[in-house]
Amino acid sequence: MKIELLGNNLTSWMIAAALAPCSQFQMSILGEKTRHQYPPVQSVFPWFEQYLELTKITPNIFTKQVSCQPLLAYQVFHSDKTHRFGFCDTGAPLGPADFIHLFSQLAGQNYPVGEFFDYSFAIQLAKQGKYIQPKKDAMSILSTFEHGYIIDTDSFLTFLKNQLKAHYPGQIREIEEIQLNLSDKNGDVNQQADLQIDCRERQSQYKHRTIQSVSWQCQLSEKPQLNFQKQVQLTQSGWLLALKPNTDSNTIHFQLNLTESLELTQSQIQTLVQQHSTDKNIQAVIPNSIQVQEIIEGPLIAFNQSAPAFNVHQTQANSWAMSSIDYTVLFIMALLDCIALFKTPDLFQLAFNKCYQDKLTSVHRYQNMLSDTLKGTTTNDSINLFLASGRIKQLDPDLIQPAWVAGLLMSLGYYPKSGNPFARQLPNAQISQHLQQIRQVLQRTSQSI
Amino acid sequence: MTPVSQPKRIKNIVILGGGTAGWMTAAALSRALKPENIKVTLVESDKIGTVGVGEATIPHIRTFNALLGLNETEFMEATQATYKLGIQFYGWGKADSDYFHPFSGFGKPYDNIDFQAIYQKARLAGLTLPLDAFSTANEACRQNKFCLPQAMPADSLNNFSYAYHLDATAYAQFLRQYAEQQGVTRIEGQLQSIQTCLADGHIQALTLDNNTKIEGDLFIDCSGFRALLIGQHLKSEYQNWTQWLKCDSAIAMQSEQQKTLAPYTRSTAHESGWFWQIPLQKRTGNGIVYSREYLSDDSALAKLTAQLNLTEPNPYNGPIRFNPGMRKQSWQKNCVAIGLASGFLEPLESTSIHLIQLSIFKLIELLPGDTQFETARAEFNRLIKDEYVNVRDFIILHYALNDRPENFWKACRDMALPQTLQNKIALFKAVGYLAQKEQGLFFKPSWQAVLFGQGLIPDGHDCKADILTNKQALDWVYTYLSKQKQSVENMPLHQKWLQQTGAMRK
């Protein structure tokens, strides 16, 4: 089966890597190499490991050869408080009473219970700058969490190209000479392919170009304590994210996702960067590290005519959680799920759009929770349900686990209404002792790592 | 200004109606709640019979029993239960078709390639076996064998799950005993009148024919088809699905215990509906489901009698009339409907007890501390509706995909299907595509079983499987088959297993 990937960028190489283990797929990557507008350092959700599984790249090889580090927790600064949550369970139930209700009951009566995340093993590890690989053994505390990654995208792209050239040399052709006509559906491309996947960047297609985010890197006076975590801060301009590509780095990558996309001059961009680089540990903004990501008007298309298309620019969404790589991974998962339908374009489109959209919906719902909690929005159904009953609304499929959502909401001080019938029937002293035991176990275990 | 009642802490839950739904609900609530905090009262009358819904179950019932902490052997002995590995469908699709829907998947994937695609490629190399030949459960059923998956030797295939056939009336009694021990109060009597709060229409109390008045904060309607609270009193609208599910009547009749106990339910299609056959320890539960538009009650009774090789009918229950569909709102005001009061789907896939269980679990998950029910109610109604629709579509599939000549079946074949189901069939027909699903009932293997079983063979296969040649695919499926045969060979007969584990007395 001949597959043409239009556009020579990280997206096309990521797709190629996922398709390559199927030896019957012959792929051509068409077009000149383009430097992505992607931020150079990105974080990804735990389902990135499903992507690695598709590519047959083991996490071990990936972490050894790509500049990256595991991501255990988000650290959110808001109103002079630090909130932490991640991809993990928190606490343990007591009989039929969920931990969130136990915690809420005592917190509501001013018991000294500390923070909700004090009862999460993964968050405790992240706070101490420690990491240990999770395990699937349900009896182990190491099964209570998953992790994402923070990835240096240049290093990732180089790695993918090397992997593909080394392991699948006959399957992938890189044809740079072809000039893709971006305004046409197919450009000057070979019509002999069984399937075309459009990964082109489309900036020349649209007139209005505004800036959606700005990223830059800073040199720090001392090593930043940002191992296994990603910092998120809501500022007047939007989300300010801080990440380190790997644990040894003494540079820090900032990304400012603007709430509203703006037309900015170079000097305005410089000012914006300086305004957000005021930490006392920052020595200097690294020259030439400032990069803007534009958003270009256009629909979020999953299909361009009959070919699946990945709109790179739509991935520069104003998100504290989702990165371009996350969007690409979801696209690939949907593509591989439905690729068998390629000969029946209508059905392919029907299945692919539903599959892709369902995945996006579940992540967008999670993503919106943080903004809604910080803004105090009262119209979010999922949050209201949680407040009323402690239940996390689940979609089908849902990439976000209920425990992650509960961690986010509880960390931000959104506790379910008191009086849960199952928690209420337990004496406070018993609940308090239960919480104490959990803290002791977590403390003991995390110290031993 | 309309006065609105103030929210108050839930202290009393009242269940109207015993039977399977009532006592399952009472047992689960009594397990989770302490009576000194929330009192659970169940009102029922010995004068009113129960339908005895669903004698065949699906594996989820084991989660319910585990929640209660029931001992499996004791439970099985008390309910005359046998094990169940799936359902055999005979005469569905075509008059002579015969397939099996196991509680498990088929075959073994190759390098993340779904077995279905490998199977389809093997067919291109000449394989003629049906898909269900690659099911350990099916193979065991064909030989009337059973043992628990965890009891299989280490080098054998244990890729199957199981449920039970049980006496639903005995199950209700068993749970009654359990619930009463846990502090549930049972009150004998028939509903006479309902007292409501003028301000918000919430039910405040039930008055019985013996003048007993039972006050409550939350009422659970388990009064069966009569739906005394949710339907007759609160007028929650009923959504009718007869345009897709044409059967509206059933007659149940018991017969003697089978000589060899089958570890599966048998569903046999007839000219205007289907028969069920459920093996219990000491008897066999049988019945006929039919559409009165195509078959009279008398003919149905005669048909069932003949099906059981009887000259005269045994005592029977029925005709039972039903109206497939569900309440638009299963939870209205402060009343939650569970079981038949909430909706009805024919037990073709043994989902009746599961739908009760689902409502109970969702109620427990969402149970608020006080009488501000709005948010929990909306979510409960959404979840219940989703699952009913999901089960409905799956049941419709059995009717829609047929190649039988009778008028009933022709009408089923020609009816316009729900759009979601139409899409599903079209996608499957093209290349065997089935969307991933993670919640609720009926994942990919269930759809594969029925779609292939009813004769819908996809035009193409998943191209990812082309990593194998057709011949390699054929070798793969035969290697699996040989392993499966070896595994089942050493399994004991179902009956023997029941006896040796003490679930059935010799």
pLDDT digits over A358-401, tens only? Answer: 998 999 899 889 989 988 878 888 999 999 889 999 888 899 99
Please tell me which residue, A247 or A282, carries the higher pLDDT value. Answer: A247
Q: Please tell me which of A234-243, B319-328, B494-503 the model is most confident about, judged by mean pLDDT.
A: B319-328
Confidence of residue A183 (pLDDT cuts 50, 70, 90): very low
| C-alpha span between A120 and B2 (Å, rounded) | 47
Confidence of residue B116 (pLDDT cuts 50, 70, 90): very high
pLDDT digits over A259-306, tens only? Answer: 777 888 888 888 888 888 887 778 888 888 888 877 665 555 667 666
For residue B366, the chain A residues in CB contact (below 8 A) are 389, 391
Angle, helices B19-32 vs B168-181, to 10°: value is 30
Bridge partners (DSSP) of residue B102 are B86
pLDDT for the residue A210: 75
Helix (H, G, I), strand (E, B) or coil at A222: coil
> What's CA A192's distance to the chain center, in Å?
36
Contact B375 A337 (CB under 8 A): no
Smallest Cα distance from A73 to chain B, Å: 26
User: Is B429 marked active-site?
Assistant: no
To which H or E segment does residue B383 belong?
helix B374-400
Non-local (6+) Cβ contacts of A447 within 8 A are none
pLDDT digits over B456-467, tens only? Answer: 999 999 998 999
For residue A351, the chain B residues in CB contact (below 8 A) are 427, 433, 435
* In the predicted structure, residue A181 carries a pLDDT above the cut 60: no
Contact B365 A391 (CB under 8 A): yes
Of A384, A396, A425, the CB nearest to B438: A396
DSSP A81-128: EEEEEESB--S--BTTB-HHHHHHHHHHTT-----GGGG-HHHHHHHT
Token pair 């073994």 is at which residue? B108
Tokens of A425: 């029937």
* In the predicted structure, residue A83 carries a pLDDT above the cut 80: yes
For residue B38, the chain A residues in CB contact (below 8 A) are 421, 425
Question: How, if at all, do strands A148-152 and A41-44 pair?
Answer: antiparallel
Confidence of residue A58 (pLDDT cuts 50, 70, 90): very high
pLDDT digits over B330-348, tens only? Answer: 999 999 999 999 999 999 9
DSSP B166-229: --HHHHHHHHHHHHHHTTPEEEE--EEEEEE-TTT--EEEEEETT--EEE-SEEEE--GGG-II
In whole numbers, what is the pLDDT of chain B averaged over residues? 93
DSSP A338-365: HGGGTTSHHHHHHHHHHHHHHHHHHHHH
Confidence of residue A258 (pLDDT cuts 50, 70, 90): confident
Helix (H, G, I), strand (E, B) or coil at B389: helix
Tokens of B28: 């689960």
| Size of the A and B interface in Cβ pairs below 8 Å | 114
For residue A398, the chain B residues in CB contact (below 8 A) are 438-439
pLDDT for the residue A204: 44
| Eight-state DSSP code of residue A301 | -
| C-alpha span between A5 and A309 (Å, rounded) | 10
Token pair 């035969």 is at which residue? B478
* In the predicted structure, residue A95 carries a pLDDT above the cut 50: yes
* In the predicted structure, residue B412 carries a pLDDT above the cut 80: yes
To which H or E segment does residue A238 belong?
strand A238-243
Contact A366, A400 (CB under 8 A): yes
| C-alpha span between B165 and B149 (Å, rounded) | 17
Radius of gyration of chain B (CA): 24
Helix then strand count (H, E) for chain B reads 14, 21
Contact A96, B32 (CB under 8 A): yes
* In the predicted structure, residue B1 carries a pLDDT above the cut 50: no
Best of A105, A382, A424, A428 to mutate (most B CBs within 10 Å, chain B): A424
pLDDT for the residue A304: 67
Smallest Cα distance from A166 to chain B, Å: 19
pLDDT digits over A204-245, tens only? Answer: 444 556 777 888 999 888 776 789 999 999 888 888 999 998
For residue A357, the chain B residues in CB contact (below 8 A) are none
* In the predicted structure, residue B64 carries a pLDDT above the cut 80: yes
Smallest Cα distance from A421 to chain B, Å: 5
* In the predicted structure, residue B65 carries a pLDDT above the cut 70: yes
* In the predicted structure, residue A307 carries a pLDDT above the cut 50: yes
Contact B34 A425 (CB under 8 A): yes
Contact A227, A69 (CB under 8 A): yes
Segment A417-430 shows an average pLDDT of: 89
Smallest Cα distance from A133 to chain B, Å: 24
- Which chain B residue shows the shortest CA-CA distance from A24? B467
Helix (H, G, I), strand (E, B) or coil at A368: helix
For residue A424, the chain B residues in CB contact (below 8 A) are 37, 369
Of B367, B376, B430, the CB nearest to A344: B430
* In the predicted structure, residue A151 carries a pLDDT above the cut 60: yes
Contact B368 A388 (CB under 8 A): yes
| C-alpha span between B379 and A148 (Å, rounded) | 31
Please tell me which residue, A14 or A234, carries the higher pLDDT value. Answer: A14
pLDDT digits over B265-317, tens only? Answer: 999 999 999 999 999 998 999 999 999 999 999 999 999 999 999 999 999 98
Segment B243-263 shows an average pLDDT of: 93
pTM of the model as a whole: 0.92
Of B369, B374, B435, the CB nearest to A421: B369
pLDDT for the residue A417: 85
pLDDT for the residue A78: 85
Residue numbers of B between 35 and 54 with CB closer than 8 Å to A: 36-38
Q: Which of B8, B34, B47, B84 is catalytic?
A: B84
Contact B9 A384 (CB under 8 A): no
Q: What are phi and psi of A237, to 5 degrees?
A: -85, -25
The residue among A153, A143, A410, A95 whose CA lies nearest residue A293 is A153
Smallest Cα distance from A161 to chain B, Å: 22
| C-alpha span between A319 and A240 (Å, rounded) | 10
ipTM of the complex model: 0.89
